[in-house]
Amino acid sequence: MIIVMNAPTADQIKRVLDKLTQTGLEAHYLHSCGRTIVTAIGDATDCNAAQYERMPGVDRVLSIVTPFKLVSRDFRTENTIVQVEDVCFGGTYIPVIAGPCAVESYEQFRDSALAVKKAGAKLLRGGAYKPRTSPYSFQGLEQEGLEILKTVSREVGLPIVTEVTDPRAVERMADQVNMLQIGARNMQNYVLLKEVAKTNKPVLLKRGLAATIEEWLMAAEYIMAGGNDKIVLCERGIRTFESYTRNTLDLNAVPVVKELSHLPIIVDPSHGTGSWRWVGPMAKAALGAGADGLIIEVHPDPEEAASDGPQSLTPANFCHLMQELSLLASALSRKTT
């Protein structure tokens, strides 16, 4: 921890040094250009940096270590491979998760599942409990949707990822699906994060709509600190002033996260753009950026979709895209199918 003081009095410096010493930290200081720079030697992570910020004479307090520990590359040098049944995230292979935004009926979900499996998807997505901006929008088929997910998963032979929104439902859902999704709106729902941490299920952790990369990794830290390190991060677009697209897909996050953390990171070009017309180019861009997987919305009849129709591919669109992605992955010495 570095404490920059602006033209402090001798007494102000002394108070800062004393407080550091009481916390068990060794402290040194230097004067330069009217500033006094106090450097605390020792593990300052348990120390409340904000307390120093409020002391008279203090201008700024700078942390020299990242706030995340377990999810950082410092903690684990090699990539973590997260396995969902026989599908691996974080290695050479780039799995594609696909399916409709919401489960609407057995037929709709089975048709989606058959189509995406045929095209090469390795996991099925589909929402049973949908967090919607409006209380009057379709909220998902809930328990009935969960039953359909399980039935189709078994029939088609693909594992399932679905969103969990209620801490009371975590344990029950963990028994029924293969991977639990924490949606963007719940990225900082710490009560929920602590519950999924207690399961030993793989977790798909979406980035919040306005979360910094650091906050996102801190959300992952909650899960890992709670005992579950099977975490796949998912970039799904952030909120900016640009209104032409639904969100701004922040692909910079892919190389940055891979540098800071050992966890795999995948990309959601459907929410990241908001229009099926741009999903293909941005899926290819994600591969170029080094993504460890993709999650793509596919609906057998997007014009009739109960939610997110505008950003859903048809099975034919998806099949064509998967062929392009396969070619691209080869050029990157990776594989999608």
Q: Which of residues 192-221 bind a second copy (CB under 8 A)?
A: 209-210, 212-215, 218, 221
163 interacts with a second copy by CB under 8 A: no
Which of 8, 264, 272, 315 lies at the binding interface for a second copy (CB under 8 A)? 272
44 interacts with a second copy by CB under 8 A: yes
39 interacts with a second copy by CB under 8 A: yes
> Is the Cβ–Cβ distance between 236 and 271 less than 8 Å?
yes
Length of the chain, please?
337
254 interacts with a second copy by CB under 8 A: yes
User: Which tokens go with 219?
Assistant: 């959300």
What is the contact mask toward a second copy in residues 66 to 85, using x (rule: CB under 8 A)? -x-x----x-----------
22 interacts with a second copy by CB under 8 A: no
Q: What's the rounded Cα separation, in Å, for the pair 254 and 272?
A: 13
> Is the Cβ–Cβ distance between 93 and 291 less than 8 Å?
no
Size of the site for a second copy (CB under 8 A): 107
> Is the Cβ–Cβ distance between 75 and 67 less than 8 Å?
no
30 interacts with a second copy by CB under 8 A: yes
> Is the Cβ–Cβ distance between 57 and 12 less than 8 Å?
yes
User: Which tokens go with 286?
Assistant: 């994600």
Nearer to a second copy, 99 or 140 (CB): 140
Residue from 172, 173, 220, 215 nearest 193 by CA: 220
Which of 153, 228, 261, 273 lies at the binding interface for a second copy (CB under 8 A)? 273
User: Which tokens go with 139?
Assistant: 């909220």
User: Which tokens go with 131?
Assistant: 């967090």
For residue 204, list its beta bridge partners. 181, 232
Q: What's the rounded Cα separation, in Å, for the pair 17 and 5?
A: 12
* Least Cβ distance, residue 221 to a second copy (angstroms): 6
* Least Cβ distance, residue 86 to a second copy (angstroms): 27
| Options 29-37, 78-86, 120-128, 144-152: segment touching a second copy (CB under 8 A) | 29-37
Q: What's the rounded Cα separation, in Å, for the pair 129 and 114?
A: 22
240 interacts with a second copy by CB under 8 A: yes
Which of 158, 263, 266, 282 lies at the binding interface for a second copy (CB under 8 A)? 282
> Is the Cβ–Cβ distance between 270 and 294 less than 8 Å?
no
Nearer to a second copy, 38 or 156 (CB): 38
111 interacts with a second copy by CB under 8 A: no
* Phi, psi of 86, deg, nearest 5: -100, 15
162 interacts with a second copy by CB under 8 A: no
Which of 10, 78, 86, 243 lies at the binding interface for a second copy (CB under 8 A)? 243
* Least Cβ distance, residue 151 to a second copy (angstroms): 25
322 interacts with a second copy by CB under 8 A: no
